[in-house]
Chain A
Amino acid sequence: MNFLLIPVAAVGRGVLLALSTAGSITLFGLTALLNMVRPPFYGRLFVRAFVEFSYFSLPVVSLTAVFSGMVIALQSYAGFSRYGAATAIPNIVLISVVRELAPVLAGLMVAGRVGAAMAAELGTMRVTDQIDALTTLSTNPVKYLVVPRLLAGVLALPLLVLVADVLGVMGGWLVGTAKLGFNSHTYLSNTMSFLQTMDVVVSLAKAAVFGFLVALMGCYHGYNSRGGAVGVGTATTNAVVSASILILAFDYVLTELFFAQ
């Protein structure tokens, strides 16, 4: 009988662990949010985190956006031209890039680049007692380490996504005009006439949420890492994986919220 219960117990342990982790992350996030409105504020640390989030992520996000826009133009042409609907390509590229690809891919790229770096940095600080040292020096580590990074994530990713929106559309335009025979002026005027403010606003709102999630996962897993180099490695992996899954899950929730008929 006990033998039969082993798998059930394993599932139960997994569920309890998942719930406990979700609770810990929620408490960690709420603590950080509360600390955002209480002084002291660390402006220099915010600027450093903001530059890391935005400026240094610009190349990878830009390349991802351009190639995504190019691929969408090619793939949609292959499908839509069969039904004589090739003229819809600029609109398809616009909707795909602005509503979905730019925020999601920028979020995933930043999770891999910045989220991993945050988890590794905070994890190393944890296992080398630097976080304890902050506490002994009358400094709240959440306020000093987590709050600037969360703010940077929320504010920097929308800027990156704005750039990615433009570059993604331009990637589609490049393929459309150079390979698919579209007139440049027609392509751009179609795109502009189809563009809606709501699409851009939702794109930026998604980006702000994804930026928060990337920073929260990076900080949470790094801050709570244990066990030396192996622990830091595990924290880094967990930060990237959990941020990526949450980005995709919240993308669905936000899309449902804003665009469901």
Chain B
Amino acid sequence: MSTPPTIRIRGLSKSFGDKLVLDGIDLDVMPGTSMVVIGGSGSGKSVLLKCVLGLIEPDAGTIEVGGQDVLRLGEGGLDAVRSTIGMLFQNGALFDSLTVWENVAFGLLATRAVRRRDARARAAEVLAQVGLDASVGDLSPAELSGGMQKRVGLARAIAGGAKILFFDEPTTGLDPIMGAVIDGLIVDCVKRLGSTAVAITHDMASARRIGDQAAMLYKGRIVWQGAAAGLMDSGNPMVDQFTHGRRDGPIQMELRK
């Protein structure tokens, strides 16, 4: 009997007004694997993640996380599923009004996983795991560089020992060296926690570093799926054009129509 996928998506569709953003997505993410979803801007990658998290309600389809249909769960059940998921947002999405350590410990305090008096020490431990000194904990997010904000966002995502990790454009806005550092931290964290990960990106170097499996989203559909190692020579004209950044190809031709 085969292992059931940690995330199972079937026939997922979502429109905003007249614009069809997701058009019947089918996707499985197996336990312990890192799935990278690539695609151009506006291809529906972020909407896909937000549907899985229950932040956006899809028009049709099913989403199972850990065997539970998240679209049929009540608020309590959805919160229980969300407590198993850690999310690194594209811009970090750190809370401006809180210090760094309060950001990192936020989920732990919300779920009462730690007492407030222990939260600071726990936050310092998690900050150390992403290569940040405990002294950073007293700063506000606005005082951090982009790379440090991503690290703090990563620390917040892994603080609760999430079994599933989502990364939304983890290297966007970072220089190549800092991008590689963040990718390395992501790979380490996923391995250490034994988590299942889904990352969305259009940074090919990042996709190959993070992913075991990859899928390409184009016009709301999965047009290719396979091993992340095969991204650069997939044989699929759309994927080849996208991964090699060529001007000419099926995607460009459709843009000209």
A interface residues with partner B (beta carbon < 8 Å): 124-125, 128-130, 132-140
Q: By the criterion CB–CB under 8 Å, are B53 and A135 in contact?
A: yes
Given that A138-B79, A138-B83 are known contacts, is A132 also in contact with B110, CB under 8 Å in the complex? Answer: no
| Residue from the list B82, B93, B110 in contact with A130, Cβ < 8 A | B93
B85 at interface (Cβ–Cβ under 8 A)? yes
Q: By the criterion CB–CB under 8 Å, are B106 and A137 in contact?
A: yes
B91 proximity list for chain A (CB < 8 A): 128-129
B90 at interface (Cβ–Cβ under 8 A)? yes
| Residue from the list B90, B95, B110 in contact with A138, Cβ < 8 A | B110
Q: By the criterion CB–CB under 8 Å, are B55 and A138 in contact?
A: no
Majority-rule SS of A interface residues? helix
B interface residues with partner A (beta carbon < 8 Å): 50, 53-55, 75, 79, 82-83, 85-87, 89-91, 93-96, 106-107, 110-111, 156
B83 proximity list for chain A (CB < 8 A): 138
C-alpha gap A63/B83 in the complex (Å): 49
Q: By the criterion CB–CB under 8 Å, are B50 and A137 in contact?
A: no
Q: By the criterion CB–CB under 8 Å, are B89 and A138 in contact?
A: no
| Residue from the list A124, A125, A132, A139 in contact with B50, Cβ < 8 A | A132
A129 proximity list for chain B (CB < 8 A): 89-91, 93
Given that A135-B55, A136-B87 are known contacts, is A128 also in contact with B107, CB under 8 Å in the complex? Answer: no
Q: By the criterion CB–CB under 8 Å, are A130 and B96 in contact?
A: yes
C-alpha gap A132/B86 in the complex (Å): 12
Q: How far is the CB of B191 from chain A (nearest CB, A)?
A: 22
Q: By the criterion CB–CB under 8 Å, are A138 and B93 in contact?
A: no
Given that A129-B90, A132-B50, A132-B55 are known contacts, is A139 also in contact with B110, CB under 8 Å in the complex? Answer: yes
Nearest chain-B residue to A140 (Cβ)?
Answer: B75
User: 7 extra interchain contacts, Cβ-Cβ under 8 A, other than A132-B50, A138-B110?
Assistant: A124-B96, A128-B91, A132-B55, A133-B87, A133-B93, A138-B83, A138-B111
